[in-house]
A = this chain, B = another copy of it.
Amino acid sequence: MKNCFSADETNAQQWLACLQANGYRITEPRRAVVETIATSRQALNPFDVFERARAYYPRLGLVTVYRTIEKLEELGLIQRVHQPTGCQAFVTAFSGHQHLLICQSCGRVEFFNGDVEQMDGLMRAVGANSGFQIQDHWLQLFGVCATCQQKISNDSN
């Protein structure tokens, strides 16, 4: 198993290229939003993005954040993260099916590859038992990342 998370500058460039390839224009507000989400390891909600992106482009409006998120999601570049605390946050989407590992303390999101054969077997078995035609699955793990574990144990000292 390998942690394949690697949000960085490269991502931002690719996303902008993808927007352009799909007939959308590249603008400063969009650059700021793309840069913000692509370089974050945390899932960010629209308001988080708005606040952070203003560091790159202060005149940015919240509406533009919503509209840009909509396009990035439509192009499959970002995905919504569902958590007990809410479902408004987004992170980079990787191609292929990925499972999420989310830190409940800092919101950091990592990805892991589930055992594909194992999941396929499970889906077939559940399908056969229930009569459902299974189309998709979500597997998410919640916990506390190594960094937050340290912080928590330090705070209690």
Determine whether A95 belongs to the interface, using a CB cutoff of 8 Å to chain B.
no
Q: Which residues of B contact A129 (CB under 8 A)?
A: 1-3, 112
Q: How many copies does the complex hold?
A: 2
Q: A87-B82, A127-B143 are in contact. Are A114 and B122 (CB under 8 A)?
A: yes
Determine whether A72 belongs to the interface, using a CB cutoff of 8 Å to chain B.
no
> Are B82 and A103 in contact, CB atoms less than 8 angstroms apart?
no
> Are A146 and B132 in contact, CB atoms less than 8 angstroms apart?
yes
Q: Which residues of B contact A145 (CB under 8 A)?
A: 130-132
Q: Which residues of B contact A140 (CB under 8 A)?
A: 137-138
Q: A115-B122, A126-B1 are in contact. Are A101 and B141 (CB under 8 A)?
A: no
